[in-house]
Amino acid sequence: MIRIIIAEDQRLLRGAMASLLGLEDDIEVVGEAGDGEEALRMIEKLQPDICLMDIEMPKLSGLDAAEKLKAAGSACRVVILTTFARPGYFERGVKADIRGYLLKDEPVEKLAEAIRRVMQGHREVSPELVFGSMREENPLTPREQEILRLAAEGSSASEIAEKLHLSYGTVRNYISETLGKLAVKSRIEAVKLAEEKGWI
Amino acid sequence: MIRIIIAEDQRLLRGAMASLLGLEDDIEVVGEAGDGEEALRMIEKLQPDICLMDIEMPKLSGLDAAEKLKAAGSACRVVILTTFARPGYFERGVKADIRGYLLKDEPVEKLAEAIRRVMQGHREVSPELVFGSMREENPLTPREQEILRLAAEGSSASEIAEKLHLSYGTVRNYISETLGKLAVKSRIEAVKLAEEKGWI
DNA sequence: ATTTTCGGATGACAACTGTCACCCGAACGG
DNA sequence: CCGTTCGGGTGACAGTTGTCATCCGAAAAT
């Protein structure tokens, strides 16, 4: 019997998956979590074989949770299940030793199958990830990302400078660099693009 | 037997709902669509009693589809099923005569029940919509929305002016007005806020 | 028939943004 | 020890934003 936990904030999807997987006779859904923290608590208590984990969840993202599990040396295998095929996410997941990265665009039938294969020691990845935009690496340095992130929240150059203890001019240089790298003409476009690609 | 169609772009959720609803013995899932256009074609051909419709879908949004159905005088009852409790969406849905507006945050059990109640002539709305942010009306005029939408895509004032056949100065006046109404200090913040609230 | 209202336009000003060329010092690699 | 790279900083310039006061003409309202 494969014991799994489902961490997903959309109750509808979570419930639906739990019901369906529960119908499989080699799989048992032992717990459902609505956010990352709850998932961690549950994994520790119930020691499931696999945790099906969404990324964008309240309190603690699925990737954060996976990283904490790795750090704690948990035996629970994490399978990320998300809408977003963002290369940044995938890469981070790989570093956190996840065993699978599935997209919510996959047909349901594949889900149980993927879980079984992960139990056998395989790694499961949605094909879109393997080919696809995948190899679009993040061209931004950490600093540039940090600055663009603040700009995305609506901070002006001088506000960013203050928050980061940099000079006004330096911040503007970074933004200028960033615009060049992303080949766009304004912060707004840069923010859109970077958010879409998962670069910030 | 209640005949329904599910229009939802996330294959996983679509499949899961179809399987679960199919288990109910008074409900029959007669079709599944992955975008708005497909949903319309299917509804016309299969004449289902109810269409469970996501909003954000490729090609044609669920709201657009609902409006077209209303215009065509279709007998198919539309139930919106979405992540977003945006007042603007809800309002638009009501105008398109939808019979229900459910959030994906609802537990699965409610789904079949809501469908039955809609068949009996009731209207089903997630409680969050009734109270909640609901009463935050869109403070922006159509023109202001149009302009903010373009700004959101990264257009500069002069580009917007060109596209809308307005003068440069007028566009800036509109944006200034908008910033005032939304009580923010820059386009970026305005865009974030307006998108979040569903005002553009 | 005269106000209001409203969409649109101007012009001017201050502040902010984006670009560029160039400077500085610390940290390597040779 | 020297050169290069790299994070950070300056200053200057042109262009874009955001703000205001003000203006015009066409609908509505009274």
Residue A102 is inside which H or E element, if any? Answer: strand A100-103
Convert the pLDDT of each residue in B100-113 to its tens digit.
999 999 999 899 99
Rg (C-alpha) for chain B, rounded Å, is: 19
Q: How far apart are CA B77 and CA B172, in angstroms?
A: 43
Q: Is the pLDDT assigned to residue B131 strictly greater than 70?
A: no
Whole-number pLDDT of residue A98: 94
Q: How far apart are CA A8 and CA B73, in angstroms?
A: 38
Whole-number pLDDT of residue A142: 83
Residues with CB under 7 A from strand C: A 156-158, 169, 172-173, 175-176, 179-180, 185-187; B 141, 143, 166-170, 172-173, 186
Q: What average pLDDT does this structure show over B86-101?
A: 85
The helix/strand/coil state of B111 is helix
| Amino acid letter for position B82 | T
Tokens for B22? 């199919």
Question: Of the candidates A68, B105, A86, which has an alpha carbon nearest to the alpha carbon of residue A78?
Answer: A68
Q: What average pLDDT does this structure show over B31-59?
A: 96
Q: How far apart are CA B107 and CA B65, in angstroms?
A: 25
CB contact under 8 A, A19 and B108: yes
Q: Could you tell me if B75 and B100 are in contact, meaning their C-beta atoms sit under 8 angstroms apart?
A: no
Q: Is the pLDDT assigned to residue A134 strictly greater than 60?
A: no
CB contact under 8 A, B108 and A152: no
Whole-number pLDDT of residue A94: 86
The helix/strand/coil state of A31 is strand
CB contact under 8 A, A111 and B20: no
Convert the pLDDT of each residue in A12-62 to its tens digit.
999 999 999 999 999 999 999 999 999 999 999 999 999 999 999 999 999
Q: Is the pLDDT assigned to residue A106 strictly greater than 60?
A: yes
Q: How far apart are CA B94 and CA B100, in angstroms?
A: 9
Q: Show Cβ contacts of residue A142 under 8 Å, excluding neighbours closer than 6 positions.
A: none
